[in-house]
Amino acid sequence: MTFGTAIFLWAALAGLVPIVLHMINRQNAPVVYFSTLRFLRLSVQRTRRRKRVHDLLLLLLRVAALVLIAVALARPALRWLHRWVGGESSTAVVLIVDNSSSLATRDQNGPRWDRVSSATLQILDQLQDGDQVALLVTNGPSPPSARGLLRNHEVVRQAFRGCQPSFERADLVGTLVEARRLLRTAPAQNREIYVVTDMQACCWNDLQRLASDTQGGAEDSPIVVVDTRGPRLPNAALGSIVAQATAPVAGVPLRVTVGVQGDAEVSEERHVSVYIDGQKRDTSPTLRIEPVQVVPHTFDIALGGKRLHRGQLQLEGDDACSADDRLYFAANTDPAVPVAIVKPAAHSIRNLDQAFYLERALAPRSDPAGAVLVHALDPAALAAEALARFTVVFCVNLPAPDLETGRKLVSYVENGGNLFWVCGDNVDPVAYSALNDRLQGQLIPTRLTGLKQADDERPEGWRIAWLDPKHESVAPFAESASIYQTVQVLRFVEMAAPDASSAQVLARLDDDLPLLAHRRVGAGSVYFLATSLHVDWTNFPLKPLFLPFVSHLTFRLAGSDASQPLLSAGTPWRLALPADQDVTVEVTRPNGEVVRLTRPDTKTEPVTFRDTHQVGVYQVRIQRGSHVQHTAFAVNPDPEESAPGYLTGAQLEQFLAPTRVFYCADAAEVTQTIRELRKGVSLWGAFLAVVIVVLVAEAYHANRREYRAPSATG
Please list, in sequence order, all residues whose beta carbon lies within 8 angstroms of the beta carbon of residue 689, skipping any fewer than 6 positions away: none
Neighbours of 666 (CB within 10 A): 15
**Within its chain, how far is the Cα of 657 from the centroid?**
25
pLDDT at 616: 95
**Total length of the chain:** 714
Torsion of CA 228, 229, 230, 235, to 10 degrees: 140
Taking residues 680-688, report their average pLDDT: 66
Q: Provide the residue ranges of all domains of the chain, joining segments of one domain with +.
A: 2-79+683-708, 83-229+646-679, 237-333, 344-377+392-557, 566-636
Q: State the CATH architecture for 344-377+392-557.
A: 3-Layer(aba) Sandwich (3.40)
Distance of alpha carbon 618 from alpha carbon 601, whole angstroms: 25
**Adjacency order of strands within the sheet including 223-227:** 132-137, 91-97, 190-197, 223-227, 661-664
The predicted-structure confidence for 610-620, as pLDDT tens digits, reads as follows 999 999 999 99
* Minimum mean pLDDT range among 64-68, 201-205, 546-550, 702-706: 702-706
* Minimum mean pLDDT range among 181-195, 213-227, 413-427, 484-498: 213-227
Beta strands 132-137 and 110-111: pairing type? unpaired
The predicted-structure confidence for 265-295, as pLDDT tens digits, reads as follows 889 999 999 999 999 999 999 999 999 889 9
- 237-333 is a CATH 1.25.10.10 domain: no
Confidence of residue 672 (pLDDT cuts 50, 70, 90): confident
Confidence of residue 659 (pLDDT cuts 50, 70, 90): confident
Distance of alpha carbon 221 from alpha carbon 96, whole angstroms: 14
Confidence of residue 331 (pLDDT cuts 50, 70, 90): confident
Total-model pTM = 0.67
Distance of alpha carbon 591 from alpha carbon 459, whole angstroms: 67
The DSSP 8-state label assigned to residue 590 in this structure reads T
What is the chain's mean pLDDT, rounded?
A: 84
Tell the CATH topology of 566-636.
Answer: Immunoglobulin-like (2.60.40)
Confidence of residue 395 (pLDDT cuts 50, 70, 90): very high
Taking residues 96-118, report their average pLDDT: 93
Beta strands 418-422 and 524-529: pairing type? parallel
Torsion of CA 110, 116, 119, 121, to 10 degrees: -110
Confidence of residue 187 (pLDDT cuts 50, 70, 90): confident
HEC-encoded secondary structure of 302-325: ECCCCEEEEEEEEECCCCCCCCCC
Three-state secondary structure call for residue 121: helix
pLDDT at 87: 43
pLDDT at 610: 92
Taking residues 107-128, report their average pLDDT: 92
Taking residues 347-367, report their average pLDDT: 77
CATH class of segment(s) 83-229+646-679 = alpha beta
Could you tell me which residue, 334 or 97, shows the higher pLDDT? 97
Please list, in sequence order, all residues whose beta carbon lies within 8 angstroms of the beta carbon of residue 564, skipping any fewer than 6 positions away: 329, 330, 331, 332, 631, 632, 633, 634
pLDDT at 58: 75
The predicted-structure confidence for 696-710, as pLDDT tens digits, reads as follows 777 777 776 554 545
Long-range contacts of 173-177 (CB under 8 A, 24+ apart): 173/204, 173/205, 173/206, 173/207, 173/209, 173/210, 174/206, 174/209, 175/96, 175/136, 175/138, 176/96, 176/210, 176/223, 177/209, 177/210, 177/213
CB 435 within 8 A of CB 406: yes
Distance of alpha carbon 646 from alpha carbon 640, whole angstroms: 12
CB 176 within 8 A of CB 170: no
Q: How much of the chain is in helix, strand and coil states, percent to nearest 5?
A: 30, 30, 40
Cis peptide before 658 (omega within 30 of 0): yes
One-letter amino acid for residue 484 of the chain:
Y
Burial of 144 (0-12, 13-18, 19+ CB in 10 A): exposed
* Minimum mean pLDDT range among 190-204, 495-509, 582-596: 495-509
Confidence of residue 410 (pLDDT cuts 50, 70, 90): very high
pLDDT at 3: 62
Residue 642 reports pLDDT greater than 90: no
CB 526 within 8 A of CB 519: yes
pLDDT at 557: 83
CATH topology agreement for domains 344-377+392-557 and 566-636: no
DSSP H or E run through 662: strand 661-664
pLDDT at 85: 39
Per cent of the chain over pLDDT 70 is: 84
| Crossing angle (nearest 10°) for helices 112-125 and 670-679 | 30
Three-state secondary structure call for residue 47: helix
* Minimum mean pLDDT range among 67-76, 153-162, 439-448, 531-540: 67-76
Distance of alpha carbon 330 from alpha carbon 92, whole angstroms: 47
Residue 2 reports pLDDT greater than 90: no
Beta strands 681-682 and 76-78: pairing type? antiparallel
pLDDT at 306: 64
Taking residues 665-673, report their average pLDDT: 83
